[in-house]
Structure 1
Amino acid sequence: MTPLRFALAGRDLPVDRALVLAQVEPAAAAVDAALAQGADLLDLGSADPAFVAEVRARHPRLALAATPGDAAGLCAAGADLLDVTGADPATAAAAARHGAALIAAGLEPGVTGLLDCPAGPGLLQRLAEPAPWPRLITLPDNGSGDAALAVAALAAWRGVQVVRTREVPRVRQALEMAASINGSRPPAAVLRALT
């Protein structure tokens, strides 16, 4: 996997496994809980710029995503990624103008961002096709349940670099397992049984 590079402050992230993008409510306790559970990045949803600035002040090296209402304000507050999936093209253009990387279903050449690949039928076939941008999936049912964990592991095996979820600990464990099986990171524990 190639490193993910986000425009505002060059926050490079680990490359030995897919990353967990935790969807959190705009509250300090939710941010702290997601980070304690192992989130690599935070999706603050439709948080206002003041909350983004508060999180940025408390966690200056953490990559933050938000859904733009005020693209300029969110970028000035410290958002690295703006989720413009489903937004009108003017919103995406404004977000890109203000220096944020984008999360979008389609990206223009020269734009930095994550390609949002919807989970569902045909996901593995779509992931087999080459893409010029790193890919992100949002897990069904917020990542709860065994089916969502299987989707996360298979998507990571197929090269998805970011998995968005509300179920951080179990998804992180599934991504670490997939990376160990794939050989991109060492296993947490090596057990050898010889008879």
Structure 2
Amino acid sequence: MTPLRFGSADRDLPGDRALVLAVVDPDVAAVETALAEGADLLDLGVAGPDLIAEVRARHPRLVLAATPGDMYAQCEAGVDLLDGTGGDTEIPETAAQYGVGLIAPTAKAADWSQWLQVPAAGVLLDCPPGPDLLRRLDQPTAWPRLITLPDNGFGDEALALAALAAWRGVRVFRSREVPRVRQALEMAASIHGSRPPAAVLRALT
């Protein structure tokens, strides 16, 4: 897998499977819970700079994403990844100014971010949900993809979607259901051969 890099180069990200971007409430306790459950990155929503700075101080090597509110203050406080799916053209411009990553709503927006000099290794292409999602994932793109899994009615269907999408190369999954999503992504990576299985229950000879 091509390494992803958001913000500072010293952030910790595994490279043998797809990543879990945990959606958390703007609260330090929620942050710690998500990390204990296995989150790779954190989506702090529209958190203000005070919370962002506190989480950054606690976890200096953790990738932090945010929905832009006061973008400049958020970036100054330590955000690594801005959610640009709302289509505001000021978001990629701010991402370029601060050297942070961007979640782009379309491939055209991702391409334009390169003209603005947003770091290429930190651009993710958002893939909206829909009945044709897996078909769309089979279409080639130059950009690593992100999928947001549903909050309501999360169950086996969403986990199956995550596993199939990871098999098709989706790099980041945004969800509140961290443990189950991570387990599905680890399973998909083990079947694909990019990481060893968590446990070998039966060996084939």
Query: Counterpart of 1:181?
Result: 191
Aligned residues of 1:143 and 1:167 also touching (Cα < 8 A): no
Give the C-alpha shift of residue 9 in structure 1.
3.8
Quick check: 1:126 aligned with 2:136? Answer: yes
Superposed, 1:30-49 pairs within 5 Å as: 30-49=30-49
* Structure 1 residues 10-36: Cα deviation after superposition (integer angstroms, max 9, x where no partner): 425111110100000010110000000
Over the aligned positions, Cα root-mean-square deviation in angstroms equals 1.8
Superposed, 1:162-181 pairs within 5 Å as: 162-181=172-191
Structure 2 stretches lacking a partner, 5+ long: none
Aligned residues of 1:142 and 1:166 also touching (Cα < 8 A): no
Which region of structure 1 is more displaced relative to structure 2, 47-56 or 130-139?
A: 130-139
Superposed, 1:88-127 pairs within 5 Å as: 88-106=88-106, 107=110, 108=112, 110=114, 111=118, 112=120, 113-127=123-137
Query: Counterpart of 2:50?
Result: 50
**Residue number among 152, 155, 177 corresponding to 1:145 in the alignment:** 155
Aligned residues of 2:82 and 2:91 also touching (Cα < 8 A): no
> Which residue identity lines up with residue 138 of structure 2 in the other structure?
A
Structure-2 separation of matches of 1:9 and 1:57: 17
Which region of structure 1 is more displaced relative to structure 2, 17-26 or 124-133?
A: 124-133
Between the two proteins, the alignment pairs up a number of residues equal to 195
Provide runs of 4+ in structure 1 moved above 3 Å.
none
Which region of structure 1 is more displaced relative to structure 2, 172-181 or 121-130?
A: 121-130
> Which residue identity lines up with residue 19 of structure 1 in the other structure?
L
Q: 1:41 to 1:194 in 2, by over 3 A?
A: closer
Q: Percent identity?
A: 71
Give the C-alpha shift of residue 133 in structure 1.
1.8
Quick check: 1:155 aligned with 2:165? Answer: yes
Where 1:172 maps in the other structure, the secondary structure is helix
> Which residue identity lines up with residue 25 of structure 1 in the other structure?
D
Aligned residues of 2:10 and 2:61 also touching (Cα < 8 A): no
Q: 1:155 to 1:127 in 2, by over 3 A?
A: same
* Structure 1 residues 74-106: Cα deviation after superposition (integer angstroms, max 9, x where no partner): 111110000010132123322322221101212
Please report the TM-score for the alignment, with normalisation by the length of structure 1.
0.93
Please report the TM-score for the alignment, with normalisation by the length of structure 2.
0.89
Query: Counterpart of 1:69?
Result: 69
Aligned residues of 1:75 and 1:99 also touching (Cα < 8 A): no
Structure 1 stretches lacking a partner, 5+ long: none
* Structure 1 residues 30-80: Cα deviation after superposition (integer angstroms, max 9, x where no partner): 000000000000000000011111000000000000011111111111100
Aligned residues of 2:87 and 2:105 also touching (Cα < 8 A): no
Q: 1:18 to 1:194 in 2, by over 3 A?
A: closer
Where 1:140 maps in the other structure, the secondary structure is coil
